[in-house]
Amino acid sequence: MHAHPHEPPVEIRLTEAERIALAYHRAARGDAWTALVRAVEDALADLAEAERRTMQRDRLISRGYVRGTASMARASTFS
């Protein structure tokens, strides 16, 4: 039994990837190419954001090491 022509039968459980693909397909009003392009665009945007956050975190960690080293150096000169 199909609820909509582009949906699997009700008794079939979709994987997460299939649910996401179906959502993109619906949003693109059944245009598979548009759905694919939008999914790839979103994935690339998410990847770029994750890389930006990783680089930001790495910079903060590096600053922490530099500050920690400077604090240790000052402490050792006063000992």
DSSP 11-23: TPPPPHHHHHHHH
Question: What distance in Å separates the CA atoms of residue 75 and residue 33, rounded to the nearest whole number?
Answer: 63
Q: Provide, rounded to the nearest whole percent, the portion of the chain with pLDDT above 70.
A: 67
pLDDT tens for 52-67 read 999 998 888 877 666 6
What are the boundaries of each domain within the chain? 16-78
Tokens of 54: 């990783």
pLDDT-based confidence at 1, cuts 50/70/90? very low
pLDDT tens digit sequence for 17-35:
999 999 999 999 999 999 9
Give the pLDDT of residue 58.
87
Length of the chain: 79
Per-residue pLDDT at 59: 85
Rounded CA-CA distance 51/60 in Å is 14
